[in-house]
Homo-oligomer: A and B are copies of this chain.
Amino acid sequence: MTTTTIPTTEDATSFPISPVNRVKRTPDRGRYDKDTVYAILDAALVCHIAYVIDGRPYCTPTSFWREGDHLYWHGSSASRMLRAQAQEVPVCLTVTHVDALVMARSGFHHSVNYRAAMVYGRARRIEDAAEKLRLMDAFIDRIYPGRSKLVRPPTPQEFKATAMMGMEIETASSKIRDKHVDDEEEDYAGVPAWSALYPITQVLGAPSECARQLPGLTRPDGMADFEPGTPLDEVMAKTYRRTFG
């Protein structure tokens, strides 16, 4: 017997729905399939990670990437976030792409178009040296395909100062609004308020080369997707596929 409009399919292609990840507000916007969640994650440069220290919540922005059903990020070995997370604490990692402002004829129906994913798991510190080194290279290559081979490898001091964190995705949800103005029927004719949707796009600009560039160097082939004017989510999705297939 169906008592809810939320899809309850749980299989290898979707995350199980529980009180943790169930989308309660506007449940019609909720999506639990891995393809949707992963597409939102893999198009992002930055996420926000929530974690708890002494009962207080903290929300830290950081770069991250996905490999299969694991997420990775890094930071200073000295940072509060990473020291807290080293104890295998629960985290919620959220990615939000803002796509449009939507102006309606009532305050209630004003909205924002967005694609958001909330991912839940337990963060752990990567202690294995070989795995940590592999992840440090993968982090560079995820953004700049092939670049780990071009740059100087980490010194022992840099290696020690860098903490790599990982989590297995225990469960996740995504929420998407992708609609134009959607007013109450009587308001279209009854409310003389100019209404529109304004797209919002995060775009890559033209590169500013390092002033101390060695002569003769040109942009590496692996960065073919870094075309100025391209939306950042498209660049990130393309470089992701280039590195992780």
Contact = CB atoms under 8 A, between A and B. Distances in A.
B204 A203 contact: no
Given A48-B48, A50-B50, A210-B196, A152 B106 contact: yes
Interface string A138-162: 0110011001101111110010011
Nearest to A184: B152
Copies of the chain in the assembly: 2
Contacts of A199: 204-206, 208
A152 B48 contact: no
Interface residues of A, number: 98
A211 to B, nearest CB: 7
Interface string A92-122: 1110101001011111101010101010100
Contacts of A211: 180
Contact of A59 (B59, B139, B148): B59
Given A60-B118, A108-B158, A96 B48 contact: yes
A134 interface: no
A131 B15 CA distance: 40
A7 interface: no
Interface stretch (A20-28, A30-38, A65-73): A20-28
B59 A92 contact: yes
Contacts of A79: 24-25
Contacts of A57: 50-52, 57, 90-92
A39 interface: no
A218 interface: yes
A79 B199 CA distance: 26
A136 to B, nearest CB: 6
Contacts of A107: 136-137, 139-140, 148, 151-154, 158
16 contacts: A24-B76, A46-B96, A50-B50, A52-B56, A56-B120, A58-B92, A59-B59, A59-B118, A98-B202, A101-B204, A105-B152, A106-B152, A108-B162, A198-B207, A198-B208, A201-B203
